[in-house]
Amino acid sequence: MSDSPIGDSDGYGCPLTIRMTIKDFISERLEKVIEKLSFDNGEVDFVLFYERGVKWKSQSTWEDMANWWSLPYSVNRRLSKNEAIVRVQFFDSIAPLWIKASLIRKGLVGLELSQKLRKRKEILHHHGGSDLAPFTIEEPYLVFGKTEERKRLLEYLTLVLNSSQDLDDYFNGNPPKKDEIKKCIEKNFEHYLFFPNNYNHREKGKPGYSERIIRKNTNTQSFQLINQDFKILKESNCLDDVVNIYLQEELEYKIGQIEIEK
């Protein structure tokens, strides 16, 4: 696969003179999945899951951008149908090679996504021209209960470092605890060297901006609290030490409108 998703040509499903966008393609196929799962009025939510049992590995530039930088904002939390359609297609031209659709419970469908992202023609070829491709319908095997939902919303909250009406409503009366936020930050360092991991794309004065950053020093295996000029404010071999300062001095135990319980 080329690193660039540009320049696809159709070979399945419609004349070459008609260009169906990948979004339209996914939307059309997802409607068929909903129909086959017998949701009479189409009112159903979705949860996206990473490909199970496979560690992230570099595929191509475009796939890396999707898997490492886009999908973390979309996986493991409840999405509407329209949100799901938008979040399983990338760069207006590629989508997962396969998407396993499985009923979690009435009104909630899980979608497990392949790490491999391909153009429409390649997806159809892989699935032999199936009218559901890239989707397949599987027996129930995914779990997303109250415990999973809270855990994933906490991860999302620490990812965006901002609240929204949905997050405000969810955490109202049951706010995130200090230890829960610390675990989410710790998990971030399983894949990234900075927290927030995309700090350099956040504008000062805008929601989610962080004046202080936590950096993992891979040479010394230590953690540093630094400012935007990379001046070291604190360094420790214990991540917990640095996170405690970050929570107190940067977040002031608050994310958006959501208070963090000490």
**Are the beta carbons of 256 and 160 closer than 8 angstroms?**
no
Give me 32's structure tokens. 């068929």
- Mean pLDDT, range 131-148, rounded to an integer: 96
- Mean pLDDT, range 131-151, rounded to an integer: 96
CA 136 – CA 96 distance, rounded (Å): 12
Q: How would residue 7 be classed by pLDDT, with cut points 50, 70 and 90?
A: very low
Give me 21's structure tokens. 């966008």
Mean pLDDT over each residue of the chain, to the nearest integer: 90
For the CA atoms of 188, 189, 192, 195, the dihedral, rounded to the nearest 10 degrees, stands at 70
Residue-level pLDDT at 12: 47
| 1 pLDDT above the threshold of 80 | no
Identity of residue 13? G
Q: How would residue 4 be classed by pLDDT, with cut points 50, 70 and 90?
A: very low
The predicted-structure confidence for 45-89, as pLDDT tens digits, reads as follows: 999 999 998 876 766 788 888 988 899 999 999 999 999 999 999
- Mean pLDDT, range 172-180, rounded to an integer: 96
CA 11 – CA 132 distance, rounded (Å): 16
Residue-level pLDDT at 40: 65
Residue-level pLDDT at 228: 95
Give me 227's structure tokens. 């400012």
| 182 pLDDT above the threshold of 70 | yes
- Mean pLDDT, range 141-161, rounded to an integer: 96
Q: How many CB atoms lie within 10 A of CB 77?
A: 20
| 179 pLDDT above the threshold of 80 | yes
| 96 pLDDT above the threshold of 90 | yes
Residue-level pLDDT at 23: 95
CA 14 – CA 3 distance, rounded (Å): 25
| 36 pLDDT above the threshold of 50 | yes
